[in-house]
């Protein structure tokens, strides 16, 4: 019998009541709670499952992630893990509250998280856990429910970043943000109250745009061939007309200085096509010695590219391919630093005899497009953006090498953490604990609800949908369009079959399921349709 079940059984035998929303149980206050598991939540930003080798995607041999794979090898990979709203702040709010965006009030970036509402961190803190969050926060209000926090303002920076302190001050630190975030997390683990179980959220900025690598990783992927996705040159036919209006294409929207790292002062008389909007904020933060290393790498490569471009050798699809390779080399280099730092945390747990009673989870706030459909961002309910990593190690509870196929979502994290700690969840949560999956007990959901509320960022419209094991239905209310995908016959989601013969019943079934889920979660009305040329 696992430790959580033992804890529950002992509580029942002694006539004690486990914690509800506001109370505290004797079990939670007893010194014996040292056996409740510690929780280490390792979290990144915009990490696509196709860039994690444990998922077995197209980059597994090109850009392995040995330390994330280490968690997977010793635990489980959830191959059907999804977000509820594919954008940074809303995903984080969903994780903290166990509720969809409309219910927790953080529907789009730029909202302010209400710190007075219930979060799993508050409940763990109330019941005897030491709690900390370090790194990217991105919720506009200060963290609440944490004994210690040190977070990046807004998106934060890659080089020599500023961290917000609990006393309201800001401090700048020399170095690379992924390394610094881990340094601070390990320092807290050393200084925490060791009489208590702990919950640490170590949250990285990387690999978020602008995809700026640690200087030690410049050129790390120059000597490998990075495969192109089959849909790199997607023409957006046979689906919602909103797709073609997007503003997140590597071809038309990738900035030369900000994204491709070709600064204006390097170009001389060479005129590159638009866009070039954001400049070089990360380069501007560097020390002279850091810039020297940066220039020593990018300078010769950029000089050669500019000469080839001026000579007409790089144009059309070859220009898109050049930008794709530059993008992927930088993106994968930022992932490399994340993976190294995951390894540092795992090594710390082992060196301090904490591994056996510590749950370790690696996840990200959503997926990301790595050139699929020609894109480099997220937002859409297409698989690459909708799907998010979830890899977990929990010795004695999760069988090593497991590949779980159940449909899970980030609304499930909060109730999962509580059950691991032997606590009950508030009845109004939208998610459910995944702990029963580990023992293959009980029924599991057959569908997931998705809602995207941003107001036109990257020209991605609000849209809503439902996904089952095989099918996905998306509704675009502003254009009153439906898209239905059969993920078995069309895994790249290139053709909607919502009007095709043979799918009439499936469309009816899924539209009814979408309505049911919206009613269950008390979702707000759809936005009103508008005319789109």
What is the average pLDDT across 27-56?
82
Domain co-membership, 336 together with 439: yes
Q: Check which CATH number belongs to the domain holding 498 and give it.
A: 3.30.1120.10
Domain co-membership, 410 together with 352: yes
Domain co-membership, 285 together with 396: no
Q: Check which CATH number belongs to the domain holding 385 and give it.
A: 3.40.720.10
pLDDT at 22: 33
Domain co-membership, 334 together with 263: no
Q: Per residue in 286-304, pLDDT tens?
A: 999 999 999 999 999 999 9
Write down the mean pLDDT value for the chain. Answer: 93
Lowest mean pLDDT among 23-37, 203-217, 229-243: 23-37
In a domain, 24, yes or no: no
Helix axes 317-351, 177-191, angle to 10 degrees: 20
Beta bridge partners of 362: 42, 391
Q: Is the pLDDT confidence value at 4 over 50?
A: no
pLDDT at 442: 76
Q: Is the pLDDT confidence value at 455 over 50?
A: yes
3-state secondary structure of 130: strand
Tokens representing 401?
A: 């090498």
What is the number of H-type helices and E-type strands within the chain? 15, 16
Long-range contacts (CB closer than 8 Å, 24 or more residues apart) made by 187-195: 188/132, 188/134, 188/148, 189/348, 189/352, 192/130, 192/132, 192/147, 192/148, 193/130, 193/147, 195/31, 195/34
In a domain, 264, yes or no: yes
Q: Is the pLDDT confidence value at 49 over 70?
A: yes
pLDDT at 529: 83
- Give the separation between CA 398 and CA 76, rounded to whole angstroms: 7
- How many domains, the chain? 3
In a domain, 69, yes or no: yes
Q: Is the pLDDT confidence value at 460 over 50?
A: yes
In a domain, 8, yes or no: no
Of 447, 474, 492, the residue at which a domain comes to its end is: 447
* DSSP state letters, 184-213: HHHHHHHHS-TTS-EEEEEE--TTSTT---
pLDDT at 531: 60
Bridge-based pairing of strands 76-78 and 390-393 is: antiparallel
What is the average pLDDT across 152-171?
98
Q: Predicted confidence band at 530 (pLDDT cuts at 50, 70, 90)?
A: confident
Lowest mean pLDDT among 14-28, 176-190, 366-380: 14-28
Signed CA dihedral, 53, 412, 434, 387: sign only = negative
Q: Is the pLDDT confidence value at 128 over 70?
A: yes
- Give the separation between CA 329 and CA 322, rounded to whole angstroms: 11
Q: Is the pLDDT confidence value at 17 over 70?
A: no
pLDDT at 236: 98
What is the average pLDDT across 127-154?
98
Q: Per residue in 249-277, pLDDT tens?
A: 999 999 999 999 999 999 999 999 999 99
pLDDT at 3: 42
In a domain, 175, yes or no: yes
Domain co-membership, 59 together with 200: yes
Domain that holds residue 339: 37-211+330-447
Domain co-membership, 64 together with 156: yes
CA distances from 367 to 85, 97, 253, 455 (A): 11, 20, 19, 20
Helix axes 88-97, 413-420, angle to 10 degrees: 40
Q: Is the pLDDT confidence value at 19 over 50?
A: no
Domain co-membership, 407 together with 491: no
**Residue predicted with more confidence, 456 or 392:** 392
Long-range contacts (CB closer than 8 Å, 24 or more residues apart) made by 307-312: 309/270, 309/272, 310/269, 310/270
Smallest CA-to-CA distance from 476 within 503, 447, 498 is with: 498
- Give the separation between CA 218 and CA 392, rounded to whole angstroms: 30
In a domain, 103, yes or no: yes
Of 311, 327, 343, the residue at which a domain comes to its end is: 327
In a domain, 278, yes or no: yes
pLDDT at 478: 95
Domain co-membership, 71 together with 195: yes
- Give the separation between CA 186 and CA 211, rounded to whole angstroms: 24
Domain co-membership, 476 together with 500: yes
The total of other beta-carbon atoms located within 10 Å of residue 21's CB is 14
Domain co-membership, 439 together with 425: yes
Of 418, 447, 476, the residue at which a domain comes to its end is: 447
In a domain, 22, yes or no: no
What is the average pLDDT across 307-311?
98
Domain co-membership, 292 together with 335: no
What is the average pLDDT across 192-197?
97
Domain co-membership, 419 together with 459: no
Cβ within 8 Å of residue 304, ≥6 positions away: none
Long-range contacts (CB closer than 8 Å, 24 or more residues apart) made by 467-474: 467/82, 467/381, 467/386, 467/407, 468/407, 468/510, 468/513, 469/80, 469/407, 471/506, 471/510, 472/381, 473/498, 473/507, 473/510, 473/511, 473/513, 473/514, 474/240, 474/381, 474/450
Q: Is the pLDDT confidence value at 368 over 70?
A: yes
pLDDT at 56: 97
């Amino acid at each position: 019998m696992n430790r959580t079940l033992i804890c529950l059984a002992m509580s029942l035998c002694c006539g004690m009541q486990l914690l509800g929303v506001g109370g505290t149980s004797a079990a939670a206050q007893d010194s014996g709670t040292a056996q409740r598991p510690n929780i280490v939540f390792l979290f990144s930003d915009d990490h696509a499952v196709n860039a994690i080798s444990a998922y077995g995607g197209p980059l597994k041999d090109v850009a392995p992630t040995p330390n994330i794979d280490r968690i997977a090898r010793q635990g489980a990979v959830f191959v059907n893990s999804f977000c509820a709203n594919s954008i940074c702040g809303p995903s984080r709010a969903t994780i903290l509250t166990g509720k969809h965006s409309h219910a927790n009030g953080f529907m789009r970036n730029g909202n302010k998280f209400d710190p007075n509402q219930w979060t799993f961190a508050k409940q763990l803190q109330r019941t005897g856990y030491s709690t900390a969050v370090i790194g990217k926060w991105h919720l506009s209000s200060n963290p609440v429910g944490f004994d210690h926090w040190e977070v990046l303002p807004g998106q934060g920076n890659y080089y020599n970043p500023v961290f917000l302190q609990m006393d309201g001050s800001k401090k700048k630190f020399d170095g690379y943000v992924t390394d610094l975030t881990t340094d601070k997390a390990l320092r807290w683990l050393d200084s925490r109250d060791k009489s208590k179980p702990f919950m640490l959220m170590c949250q990285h900025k990387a690999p978020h745009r602008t995809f700026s690598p640690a200087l030690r990783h410049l050129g790390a992927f120059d000597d490998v061939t990075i495969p192109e996705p089959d849909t790199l040159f997607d023409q957006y036919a046979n689906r919602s007309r909103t797709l073609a209006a997007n503003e997140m294409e590597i071809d038309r929207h990738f900035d030369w200085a900000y994204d491709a790292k070709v600064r204006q002062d390097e170009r001389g008389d060479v005129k590159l096509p638009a866009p070039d909007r954001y400049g070089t904020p990360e380069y501007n933060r560097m020390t002279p010695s850091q810039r020297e290393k940066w220039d020593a790498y990018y300078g010769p490569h950029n000089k050669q590219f500019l000469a080839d471009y001026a000579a007409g050798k790089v144009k059309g699809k070859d220009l898109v391919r050049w930008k794709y390779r530059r993008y992927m080399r930088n993106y994968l280099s930022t992932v490399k630093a994340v993976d190294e730092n995951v390894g540092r945390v795992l090594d710390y747990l082992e060196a301090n005899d904490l591994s056996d009673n510590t749950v370790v989870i690696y996840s990200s706030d959503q997926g990301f497009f790595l050139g699929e459909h020609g894109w480099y961002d997220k937002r859409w309910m297409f698989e690459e953006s909708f799907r998010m990593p979830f890899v977990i190690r929990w010795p004695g509870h999760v069988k090593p090498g497991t590949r779980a196929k159940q449909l899970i979502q980030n609304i499930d994290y909060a109730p999962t953490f509580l059950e691991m700690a032997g606590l009950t969840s508030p009845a109004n949560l939208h998610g459910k604990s995944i702990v029963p999956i580990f023992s293959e007990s009980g029924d599991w959901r057959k569908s997931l609800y998705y809602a995207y509320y941003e107001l036109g960022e990257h020209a991605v419209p609000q849209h809503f949908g439902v996904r089952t094991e095989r099918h996905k239905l998306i509704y675009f209310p502003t254009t009153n369009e439906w898209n239905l995908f059969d993920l078995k016959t069309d895994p790249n989601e290139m053709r909607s079959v919502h009007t095709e013969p043979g799918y009439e019943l499936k469309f009816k079934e899924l539209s009814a399921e979408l309505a049911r889920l919206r009613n269950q979660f008390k979702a707000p009305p759809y936005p009103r349709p508008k005319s789109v040329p």
